[in-house]
Structure formats: structure tokens, C-alpha cells
Structure 1
Amino acid sequence: MFDLLLRGGNVVNAGGAARADVAIEGGRIAALLAPGESAVARDEIDVAGCDLLPGLVDAHVHLRDPGLTHKEDFQSGTRSAAVGGVTTLLDMPTDEPWTWNAGQLRDKMQLAAGRLHTDVGFQVVVRRDLAGLRELRELAPVSFELFTADVPEAFLHDTLDGMDRAMRALAPLDVLIGVSPGDESILAGETRRNAGRAGGVCEFQASRPPLAESAGIARAVLAAAATGARIHIRQTNSALGIATWRRLRDMADASIETTPQCLLFAKDSYERLGANLKASPPLREQEDLVAMREALRAGAIDIVATDHAPHSPAEKAASYANFADIPGGMPGVQTLLATMLHFVDQGDIALKDLVRMCSANPAARFGLGGRKGAIRPGHDADILILDPSKRTVVHNEDQLSRAGYTPFDGLDVPWRLLRVLLRGREIFGAGGVAEARGGAVVTAGPTSAHADR
């Protein structure tokens, strides 16, 4: 006897869609049955006419816990994610303190226990002196992060030599290396040239131009090719950056991500949303936005993540002498599904592509394949139930993040998320978010050689 049967749904995986009844037992998918096939379960849900998607895996999230919990914490961030259909969050290491050693990672894992509405995997930062790597590896974080610009010196890998040295140390550990592409020399040069002057949006853009992004991508791919390291390139959003990626990506075991905001907003959006859109990389020109949407349609983007990085409303609303001084980042986990459904509605992608970029690829790439990212026997029963006959409108007042807003306010998309299951248990439904916090800390297993393109 199964624990639960989902009857009559259209199961959507990265490879395509098919009608099937989904049998769940012990928190995992036990079988995909022919529609109407005889089976017995303790409970059944009629999902006739609904699309069933695997829970989304957001590979780039800042939950701000510990140390910055006035912005967000494990409970508020994962609650927001559950409402949006993100069942697994991969948390970045830039909290307070930055997570760079085994003791800090153990503390973070213990702090999260019992406070999660969704599953969470942790990412760690690599120090410039490469301290503590083997001890960290024993705890199986989902990635080791290299930052190339705009971070404290202890964590700055701003030369090709430094990146090569770090990758040579990490490659034998069989880990995924996240690289945030940039160029510290350009940032430093612009800062010197503008010393003493108030800087606006244009100055902020000039300090972090497409040239810096593309140079960071090139250095990362070349270093990975030379060392045999597996890399994942963080948020790209420029025509030059994506062109560089397309030229070089086959040289190494590499994948790349972008974000919904980089696919929906250009520089002129600052006029309307101002501080609420301030983040790094800065928004680009309209031609960059066009290039990014074309790359999305062409399958050149492996993963779409959110870079969920909330700040308190007071922090965003304060007055700053320079645009660059505004705290960078915006909320995103609650709206990842809605923004991706917008691209489906626009004809840029299909539902299976949404699953590929937001479930299957991040799960496989970050060591969660076989557990997350697909509705398939043996996988965790993390399932989204969507009604294609209804629509969803994104509103600021519905957001559960402590940021208290969304840059996508007013977005109207087809489909409505009816239920979210995490390992077969409902964490979101008609009654809202379940009070029970059944999320768990997940750790990395083997990662796939390449993202599914």
C-alpha cells in the first residue's frame, strides 16, 4: 500500500511531459503508474487537469542567517520559498561571519535544524590562503565559492594565478566550484578616478561593466580547463559575457546561471524602482537584455537562480551619497516560479525547459541528483501541483520575505500553484504554509559532468 496517490496529473520533467499517476511512499516517489491503473493508498488527491512539476531548486540564495537576521532568516526565507514552489534552497556563505571553515559550517547546519520549511544545502567560501578545504569537504557542502571582485581581501581571488592556485587545490577534492565573475582592477580603477565625487547609476555600471564580467568568465573557464576543475559561473547578464561563455564553455566542465531580474529589467528600470533594483551585477543596456533572452531561448543558460538577497525596507529606503552604497540585492525565492512561467507564456521556453533550468540542472550540478530535480521513482517526492486554467498575479503585499516587496509586483502569469509537497507532505496549500517545519539540511553527493543542454 502506498502512502499517497496523485491521480490524473500531467507529469512534467526536463525530458518532456506525460500523463501518469504518481505513487508516493516513505517520502519518495515509489512509482509512476498508467493513468487510472489499479493501486491502493492511504490517501489520494485528484489532480486531473493539473501539471505536476518537480520542486524547484534555487541554486543562489542568501538567507542571511546567522548574523544578518534583521534582513531574513532560515524560517522567513524558507517560508517564502515554500509559497513560491521552491523546495530546495542552496544558501550562499556571505552571512556574518562568512562560512569558510568546518566549525562555522557545522554551526550553521545546527542552527538551521528544526527551522526550515524547505530543504537547504550550504555553500562555503574559499579563502585566499586556501585554509580548511579538506575539513570542509568532509561535511559535503554543495559548492565551494570563489569571488573575484568586490569582497574582503581575505576572500578575494583577483588574479589568474590566484584562481589557478585555488582550482588546483579544489580539483582533487571532487567538488563543484562556484565563481562570481568580475575584475577587481576595473573596479579599483573606476573608484580611483571617481574619488571625491558623488556617483550615480552610470558610475556604478562603469565600475562593473560587461568587460569585467566577460573577463571573469574567461579566466574561470581557462583555469578550469587547465586544472580539470568543475565550475559553475554565477549570475551573468551582458551580451559580451554570454558571447564569451558561448565561445569558451566547451573547453571545461562548466555551467552558467542568470536570474529573472537579468532577463526582465534593463538600466532604464532604475528610474522606476531605484534602490529596490540595486544589486551586482548592475542592470545593463537594452541590447544586453535582448541578448540574454535570446540565450535563454537558445538553451545557452544552464540554470536560472534568483540571487535572493533581501534587505530590510529601512535599509533600502535610507539616503545614500552614492548609488553604489545602497545595500545590494533583492528578494526572489517566492517569485522564481512566477517569473519563469512568464517566459513560458511569452513563448521563450516550454514547461520542460523551466524544469531543466530550475530543477533538474541545479540538482544534478550541485550534487543533489537522484534525490531532487525530477518526478521519477527513487527521488524525493518534492512536487508542485499547478492549475493551468487559472492565473497568478504577483503582489507586494503577498510577499513573506522580510524585504517586504518584490520587483515583479503586478506580473500576471498563467497557471496557479495549488499545492507544494516536500517529501510527500504538503508544505503549502489552500490553507497557506504549513506550520510544521519539516525541511532538512541536504548535502552534496556526486555531481553530473555537464548540465543538461
Structure 2
Amino acid sequence: MTIDLKITGGTVVTPAGPVFGDLLVRDGKIAGVVAPGVDVDAARVIDATGKLVLPGMVDVHVHTREPGYEHKEDIFTTTQQAAAGGVTTIFGMPNLKPPTIDVATLTDVFERYSASSIVDWNHNPAPTKFDQIAPMAAMGIRAFKIYMVVDTGRTYPHPAGTGIHDHGHLLQIMDQIAETGIRFIVHPHDQALMDYIEGQYLARGENTPQGYASAYAAREGVIWDTAIDVVLRLAEASGCAVHIAHIQTRRSIEAVRRAKAAGVDVTCEVNHWAPFLSTWNDVETLGPYALSYWVPDDNRAAIWEGMRDGTIDVASSDHAPHTREEKEIGWTQMWSSHTGTPGIQYYYELMLDAVNRGELSLERVVEMVASVPADKFGLGGVKGSLEIGADADIVIADMASEWTITDEDVLSKIGWTPYNGRTISAQIQRTLVRGREVYADGAVVGEAGFGKLAAARAQEGK
């Protein structure tokens, strides 16, 4: 048979397990895997000898900052980093200016992706306008997103229009989303408890990275645990499929584990900073550049266990770029600093490095970054696996390539990474989206506008 592309010599990680063979691609889809040396007429051949051939990452939690905050990042620069990091599908977030809350703003964002994205994409609007939930669902989105939080001392990264923490409103939203069959991403947060706890720290003058880190982890993470308990109970009451963002405490992981056992349709995610950038030493040495959040050691141990046993389903970056100026103020006024850290460019490689260190199995990494997010967000059979008929979203990785992450290699507008100086043992060498290279040999080669809406199989071609 004649095909467009053959990737030879590598170990192909298929849904049935790793296979030493040649991966075949035709018309942007996976056409099969054949034994090495089988005569196949291919228009192009890529040599992956000694490398892993993996599915591309499906990252359901990405802040592109466009529109409204393009001084931090935009869709093109975000997807440059995605291509370099083996991410072949991104889901953008709604905390933009204007926030994505209705058909008009969602249409605008879709048009921006169509013009600028190098990789495939979707977007998670906020369902704060109840009459817009059904029409936005009909546009092909795969998730909604809400924040149970109001910022203290700043108006970003949680702008007005994207947050609801009234339990009645949350249940009303869940009832409507349940009718669409789409998953609901929730940033959990108990606002009333946080107001009290933050007030104590600020009253003592602890407006520092250490104070901020301690406040958000205070009393063993009570602000996260109580909010997640509420979300899980409302999900059970409404039948709404939910996805918990920012899982980071032992009790929360245990709560998700119990809810799954009880039949609640819940998934949860771990962001790059939780396993790789959340120690107290990180807080003290990197300060605002490490925050996001501090994860105490016992909670981090629970996170790794949840990753290994499957309680934590999904690895998503929570890529959240801010400029140095927006971070620097945090050394003395942390509640005025924009929190969040960039992560999309290096998360997959950090996860593969964890495989080399024996902390995770390769199977679990592939499930967390690719197959499970694709399946749980309605893209099964299209994205997230090297199976016949799926999009040829492919990553070629060298698992024996020691290298050091540096600020000089960062493709983000902000020009820095909290992982500057960290040496890891796995490196992504090529990324393909629908059979076309978007990253190869250290350079982004994809073009703006190549990416398209990542749609469920029944929606393809619409």
C-alpha cells in the first residue's frame, strides 16, 4: 500500500502497549503499525531509531491570554510552546478581556485560534450567562470552566464574569450543563474561608511569598477541601460530569477517590507545579516565580500516589504566563502579584523524566497526558492515542538525552521559566499534528492557522 508517512525504528506506544514497529500515516490519520522491514511505499520516512513514538498531549487547561492580555502571551506564542512541548491539542481558558461567556465572545476566540494556532484547539467558556450555555455547547466546545474565587488585592487572573461560588448558582449551572453532556471544569475555592484566612495573614503584615504560600495551604488545605466536597456533592445531585482543577491536597484526593467509587462522574487534574515546583525551598528561592501554590510534603506524596493509582486522571499544564514586572512585586506584595506559572513547553518532558526516575510508569504518563483527557472530554478515537483512524498527533522522544532547561530556550513572550537550570533526561525531538510536523530538530516549523477545532468524531467536518 501507498502511504504519506512512515515512522521507522521506534517503539510505538499504542493503546495495547508499546510495540517495536513502523507507524504508518495516511491523510493525517493513523493507518496502522507494521513490523520493521515490511515493505511499505511511503512518500516520506522519519527515522525514530531508539526513540519512543508517543501520542501528542491533550492539554485541557491552557491560558493563552488572548484577547486582552497579549503583553503576557497570545495564541501563536502559546502554540509555539505547545509544539515544542509535544502538545498537539490545547483547550483555552475563559479569563480573558472580554471574558468568554457567550456566543459572541466564543465566536471571536474561535476566529483568533483559526488565524493563529499552530496546533489543534478548543476552548472552555464560563457558563455564567445561563441562556448562553446551550448555544455555546452547540458550537463544538468540549468543556465549560468556572472559578469559585474572587481575587484579593487584584483583578486578575480571575476577572469578573468568570466566577461563581454561590452554591445555588452552581447547582443551577450544573443542571443545565448536565443536559448538554459536556464536562464542567471547576477551579475549587471556598471564598468565605479564604477571606478569613487571608485577612489574618495580611493583618500580620505577611504579604510575602511565604505568607501567601502558607495562607493557601493553611489548615491542611481547608479552602480546597471544603470547596471540592461541595462540588462533588452537587455533581452527584445534578448528574453533571465534573473535572476538578488544581488537585493538591491529600483529603481532596481521597474525596475524589470515594466519589468515583460511588459512581460520580468526576475527573481531576494535576498541574505541572504540583509535582515539580511546589516545595518550600521553591517558595523561598523563587518566590513569586514559583507561585501558583505551595504543596506541603505530605500532600505532594499523596499527589504522586494519586498519579500512580489513577485517582488523578489528567495531567494538564495550567500554563499561566506573567511578565517579570508582574511577578517582581510579589517579593514584597505577594497579594498584588499575578499568580500562576508557565508550563506548557516542558510538562510532557518533565513527566517522561519522571518515568526515567522510576516515579511513574510510561503507561500512566501516556494515559494522563493523552488518552484519558481525550476520552473524558469527548475526543476519544480522534485525539490522544495512536490507534487506526485517529488523528496522527505524534511525538517522538529521546528517553536518553540529558539536557538543561534554560530561559534562553523559552518561546513564551515572558522569556522565563521557573525550571531554568533544571537538568532532565528526556527530550522531545519532533511533534506532528495530523501527520504534519510542527516541531522538528529544535525548531518550531508549524504555521499559524494550521490548527483546527478539535471536535468529537460526530462533529468532524461540521
TM over 0.5: yes
**Residues 35-74 of structure 1: pairs in structure 2 closer than 5 A:** 35-74=36-75
Shift in Å at residue 414 of structure 1?
Answer: 2.3
Classify the secondary structure of the residue corresponding to 2:59. Answer: strand
Q: Which moved more, 1:25-34 or 1:404-413?
A: 404-413
User: Is 2:213–2:291's contact at 8 Å kept on the other side of the alignment?
Assistant: no
Q: Letter of the aligned partner of 1:125 in structure 2?
A: A
Shift in Å at residue 239 of structure 1?
Answer: 1.8
1:184 matched residue in structure 2: 191
Q: Letter of the aligned partner of 1:149 in structure 2?
A: V
**Residues 116-155 of structure 1: pairs in structure 2 closer than 5 A:** 116-127=117-128, 130-150=130-150, 151=158, 154-155=161-162
2:273 matched residue in structure 1: 261
Separation in 2 of the partners of 1:159 and 1:13?
A: 44
Task: Indicate yes or no: 2:33 matched with 1:32.
Answer: yes
User: Is 2:183–2:241's contact at 8 Å kept on the other side of the alignment?
Assistant: yes
Change (3 A) 1:446 1:429: closer
Shift in Å at residue 162 of structure 1?
Answer: 2.3
Separation in 2 of the partners of 1:407 and 1:417?
A: 19
Q: Give the number of aligned pairs.
A: 444
Classify the secondary structure of the residue corresponding to 1:4. Answer: strand
User: Is 1:296–1:348's contact at 8 Å kept on the other side of the alignment?
Assistant: no
Change (3 A) 1:346 1:207: closer
User: Sequence identity of aligned pairs in percent?
Assistant: 29
Shift in Å at residue 40 of structure 1?
Answer: 0.7
Write out per-residue CA displacement over residues 362-394 of structure 1, whole angstroms, 9 at most, x where no aligned residue.
Answer: 111122221110111111111111223422322
Classify the secondary structure of the residue corresponding to 1:29. Answer: strand
Q: Letter of the aligned partner of 2:422 in structure 1?
A: L
Write out per-residue CA displacement over residues 170-209 of structure 1, whole angstroms, 9 at most, x where no aligned residue.
Answer: 1111111111111011122234445665323335532564
Q: TM-score, normalised by structure 2?
A: 0.91
> Which structure 1 segments of 5+ residues have no match?
448-453
Q: Letter of the aligned partner of 1:387 in structure 2?
A: D
Separation in 2 of the partners of 1:286 and 1:41?
A: 51
User: Is 2:328–2:337's contact at 8 Å kept on the other side of the alignment?
Assistant: no
Write out per-residue CA displacement over residues 62-84 of structure 1, whole angstroms, 9 at most, x where no aligned residue.
Answer: 00011100000011110011111
Classify the secondary structure of the residue corresponding to 1:35. Answer: coil
- 1:367 maps to which of 346, 361, 378: 378
User: Is 2:353–2:426's contact at 8 Å kept on the other side of the alignment?
Assistant: no
> Which structure 2 segments of 5+ residues have no match?
151-157
Q: Letter of the aligned partner of 2:91 in structure 1?
A: L
Shift in Å at residue 413 of structure 1?
Answer: 2.4
Separation in 1 of the partners of 2:365 and 2:415?
A: 26
Q: Which moved more, 1:317-326 or 1:111-120?
A: 317-326
Separation in 2 of the partners of 1:446 and 1:379?
A: 9
1:451 matched residue in structure 2: none
Task: Indicate yes or no: 2:225 matched with 1:218.
Answer: no
Task: Indicate yes or no: 2:207 matched with 1:202.
Answer: no
Classify the secondary structure of the residue corresponding to 1:287. Answer: helix
Q: Letter of the aligned partner of 1:90 in structure 2?
A: F
2:350 matched residue in structure 1: 339
Separation in 2 of the partners of 1:322 and 1:13?
A: 49
User: Is 1:308–1:331's contact at 8 Å kept on the other side of the alignment?
Assistant: yes
Q: Letter of the aligned partner of 1:383 in structure 2?
A: I
- 1:300 maps to which of 297, 308, 311: 311
Change (3 A) 1:257 1:446: farther
**Residues 150-169 of structure 1: pairs in structure 2 closer than 5 A:** 150=150, 151=158, 154-169=161-176
Q: Which moved more, 1:203-212 or 1:372-381?
A: 203-212
Separation in 1 of the partners of 2:184 and 2:325?
A: 34
Q: TM-score, normalised by structure 1?
A: 0.93
User: Is 2:198–2:215's contact at 8 Å kept on the other side of the alignment?
Assistant: no
User: Is 1:11–1:19's contact at 8 Å kept on the other side of the alignment?
Assistant: yes
Write out per-residue CA displacement over residues 239-288 of structure 1, whole angstroms, 9 at most, x where no aligned residue.
Answer: 22222222223331110001121112223321110111122xx2122222
Classify the secondary structure of the residue corresponding to 2:367. Answer: helix
Change (3 A) 1:195 1:292: closer
Separation in 2 of the partners of 1:288 and 1:346?
A: 20
Classify the secondary structure of the residue corresponding to 2:98. Answer: coil
Classify the secondary structure of the residue corresponding to 1:390. Answer: coil
User: Is 1:302–1:357's contact at 8 Å kept on the other side of the alignment?
Assistant: yes
Shift in Å at residue 351 of structure 1?
Answer: 1.5
Change (3 A) 1:429 1:194: closer
